[in-house]
Amino acid sequence: MKQTLLLIAAFVFFCNSALLAQSTTKITGQVLDNAGKSLANANVLLNKTKDSSLVKTAVSSSDGKFNFVGINAGEYFVAISSVGYQKNTSPSFTIADGETKIIPALTLSVSSKNLQSVVVESKKPMVEVKADKTIMNVEGTINAVGNDALELLRKAPGVMIDKDDNLSLAGKNGVQVYIDGKPSPLSGADLAAYLKSLQSSQIEAIELITNPSAKYEAAGNAGIINIKLKKNKNFGTNGNVNAGYNIGTYAKYNGGLSLNNRNAKMNVFGNYNYSQALNENNFVLSRTQGDSTFNQTNHMLNRNKGSHNFKAGADFFVNKKSTIGLIINGNISSNQMETDGPMHISYKPTNTLVKILKASSSSKMQRDNVNFNLNYRYAVTGGKELNIDADYGFFNLGNNQFQPNNYYDASGTVKLSSNVYRMISPADIDIASFKTDYEQNFKKGRLGLGGKIGFVNTDNNFKRYDVIGITDVYDKDRSNRFVYKENINAVYANYNRPFKGFMLQAGLRIENTNSKGVSSGLKYNTPTSTYVVYDSTIKKNYTDFFPSVAITLNKNPMKQWGFTYSRRIDRPAYQDLNPFEFKLNDYTFMKGNTELKPQYTNSFGITNTYKYRLTTQLNYSHVKNIFTQMPDTTEKSKSFLTKRNLATQDIISLNVSYPYQYKWYSFFANVNSYYSMYKADFGGGDRKVNLDVLALTFYMQNSFKLGKGYTAELSGFYASPTIWQGTFKSIGMYSIDGGLQKTILKGKGNLKAAVSDIFQLMKFKGTVDFSGQQSTASGRWESRQFKLNFSYRFGNNQVKASRQRKVGIEEENKRTEGGGTGGMGGQ
Radius of gyration of the chain (CA): 29
Q: Does residue 579 surpass a pLDDT of 80?
A: no
**pLDDT score at 740:** 93
* Residue 794 · residue 238 · CB < 8 Å: yes
When comparing pLDDT for 396 and 535, which is higher? 396
Q: In this predicted structure, what is the pLDDT of residue 117?
A: 40
pLDDT at 120: 42
Confidence at residue 87, expressed as pLDDT on a 0 to 100 scale: 82
- What's the whole-number mean pLDDT along residues 29-51? 82
Percent of the chain with pLDDT over 90: 28
> Above pLDDT 70, what percent of the chain?
81
* Identity of the residue numbered 73: A
What SS3 class is residue 311? strand
- Of residues 671 and 202, which shows the higher confidence score? 671
Determine which of 13-27, 197-211, 290-304, 645-659 has the lowest per-residue pLDDT on average: 13-27
Highest-scoring range by mean pLDDT, 1-15, 44-58, 291-305, 529-543:
291-305
Q: What is the predicted pLDDT for the residue at 16?
A: 43
For residue 427, give the nearest of 329, 310, 573 by alpha carbon.
573
Average pLDDT over residues 347-356: 92
**Of residues 26 and 453, more confidently modeled:** 453
72-81, 109-118, 177-186, 628-637: range with highest mean pLDDT: 72-81
Query: What is the four-CA torsion angle of 374, 379, 385, 386, rounded to 10 degrees?
Result: -20
Closest CA to 664 of 54, 44, 50: 54
Query: Which of 146-150, 530-534, 755-759 is the most confident on average?
Result: 755-759
Sheet containing 203-209: order of strands:
127-129, 134-136, 203-209, 223-229, 175-179, 182-183
> Could you read off the pLDDT of 535-578 as tens digits, one per residue?
678 889 999 999 999 998 877 777 888 899 999 998 887 777 77
Q: What does pLDDT average to over the chain?
A: 81
More confident call, 820 vs 401: 401
Q: Which string of b and e fits 437-470 if b means at least 16 CB within 10 Å? A: bebeeeeeebebbbbbebbbbbbbbbbbbebeee
Q: How far apart are CA 280 and CA 300, in angstroms?
A: 6
Residue 753 has a pLDDT of: 93
Residues 6+ apart with CB under 8 A from 570: 173, 174, 176, 219, 220, 221, 598, 599, 600, 601, 627
Does position 822 have pLDDT exceeding 60, yes or no?
no
User: Cβ(357)–Cβ(407) under 8 Å?
Assistant: yes
Of 484, 509, 512, residue with least CA distance to 494: 509
Quick one: pLDDT band at residue 149, thresholds 50, 70, 90? confident
Answer whether residue 812 shows pLDDT above 50: no
Question: How confident is residue 249, by pLDDT bands cut at 50, 70 and 90?
Answer: very high
Among 824, 825, 732, 813, CA closest to 267 = 813
Q: pLDDT at residue 813 above 50? A: no
Least confident of 112-126, 150-164, 381-395, 790-804: 112-126
Cβ atoms of residues 404 and 361 within 8 Å: yes
Amino acid residing at 381: T
Return the pLDDT at 180. 81
Confidence of residue 302 (pLDDT cuts 50, 70, 90): very high
What is the reported pLDDT for 589? Answer: 67
Q: What pLDDT digit, counting tens, does each position of 173-183 carry? A: 778 888 887 88
Least Cα distance to 194 among 375, 338, 461, 393 occurs for 393
Contact 637/292 with Cβ under 8 angstroms? yes
Highest mean pLDDT among 57-61, 329-333, 626-630: 329-333
As to burial, measured by CB atoms within 10 angstroms (0-12 exposed, 13-18 middle, 19+ buried), residue 391 is buried
Which pLDDT belongs to residue 146? 67
What mean pLDDT do residues 94-114 have?
A: 78
Is the confidence at residue 305, as pLDDT, over 80? yes
pLDDT at position 13? 38
Side-chain half-sphere of 336: how many Cα atoms within 13 Å? Answer: 9
